[in-house]
Amino acid sequence: MFSLEKEVKKWYNSCKTRINPRCMVLNTQQLESFIQIAENLNFARAAEILNVTQSAVSRQIQGLEEELNTKLFYRTTRTVLLTPEGNIFLEHAKQMLEHLRIASARMQHHSSVGTQVLRIGCESEGELRFLRELLRTCRNTIEAFHPYLRILPHQALLNLFFQGELEVLFGFEDGLPVREGLHFTPLRQVPLCCVVPNGHPLTQRTHIDEETLFAQELVLCNAYTIPTQATALQNRIAQHLSPERIHISENAQVVRMLVQAGYGCAILPQPAAGDPELTYLPLDGIAPLRYGICCAKTVGDALLKQFVQLAQQVARQLDDADRPRP
């Protein structure tokens, strides 16, 4: 969770060999003026961007330099350049201003009457159908519900989760953190599939197992972007293929594009929304993946409990809708 005190201490520790520690009375106008001048190296241009007078910008910088007890710019009648101290301060000024804006927005959001905010993380765009239905149900069920949804790469989501920036993570169980104090709620069983273009000869087969794919070209996806079980399976298959029959990508979306373009088949979880240009063929003998929600056991507020219950309800409804009718 963001702490202005920690940010100021971090900045102070990095600058204390150059800057007098008596300076701690900074304001956002000073930071904005400093950043604009540092980026444009022109006081007049900075004043124009900030919609203030040039003299006002000059006063802000003068006050900032006095508080920091250091010179931030070399100034002549024609040029403006950052001093070494100014270069040090620039990076941290940007970070502090951004954190202040985020903190202000969050406080305003939370202070709204009746607002219920839940911060949600998801790494798979293939699950957007499920999330769309879940968020629609939440809007109709939970009064003043405000979801804050972030779709990011796997490691970035884990970092945010452990920093306290997210309350819940959606994902496959084998890719979510296994730690004391965390709880995983399963929602759906997701088949691990061989993915081929529509009309591929494999679509005519009634059964496909691991050995079937030894005769195919394979598009591999890097380990950190797909579930561990999928990584292990594609690596076993790759051991039976010559290098020229293997293509590699770091992104699951690019993998699907290469499959569409005819570069081979891939091993991926079956997406909730399907894909009009690809066929997903469940593999025989491969246990399905468990998709669900991860959250801290200590988080016990009513909003989170209700959200998890609604997620279970929506998952059951989608599974019923997708189940073949006799």
pLDDT score of 179: 67
DSSP 274: -
Tell me: the pLDDT tens digits for 108-144? 555 554 567 788 888 766 677 788 899 999 988 888 7
pLDDT score of 17: 39
Domain 192-282 has CATH 1.20.120.1770: no
Tell me: the pLDDT tens digits for 15-33? 443 434 343 456 788 888 8
**Nearest alpha carbon to residue 145 among 314, 296, 303:** 303
pLDDT score of 27: 76
Extents of the domains making up the chain: 4-110, 112-189+289-322, 192-282
pLDDT in tens, the chain (326 residues): 444 445 444 544 544 434 343 434 567 888 888 988 998 888 888 888 888 888 989 998 998 888 888 899 998 878 889 998 888 888 888 888 877 776 666 555 555 545 677 888 887 666 777 888 999 999 888 887 878 788 777 777 777 887 778 888 888 887 776 666 778 889 988 888 999 999 999 999 878 888 989 999 999 987 566 788 888 898 899 999 999 999 988 778 889 999 999 999 999 988 866 678 899 998 988 889 888 888 876 555 788 888 989 999 999 988 777 665 55
pLDDT score of 158: 79
Residue ranges with strand state E in 145-222 = 145-151, 168-172, 182-190, 192-197, 218-221
Helix ranges restricted to H, 175-301 = 228-238, 252-260
Please give the Cα distance from 226 to 270 (Å, whole number).
12
pLDDT score of 14: 47
CATH for the stretch 112-189+289-322: 3.40.190.10
DSSP 164: T
- DSSP state letters, 97-136: HHHHHHHHHHHHHHHSTT-EEEEEEE--GGGHHHHHHHHH
Examine domains 112-189+289-322 and 192-282 and report if their fold is the same.
yes
Please give the Cα distance from 82 to 292 (Å, whole number).
50
pLDDT score of 177: 67
Candidate CATH numbers 2.10.109.10, 3.30.559.10, 3.10.129.10, 1.10.10.10; the one for domain 4-110:
1.10.10.10
Angle between helices 84-111 and 4-15 (to 10 degrees): 180
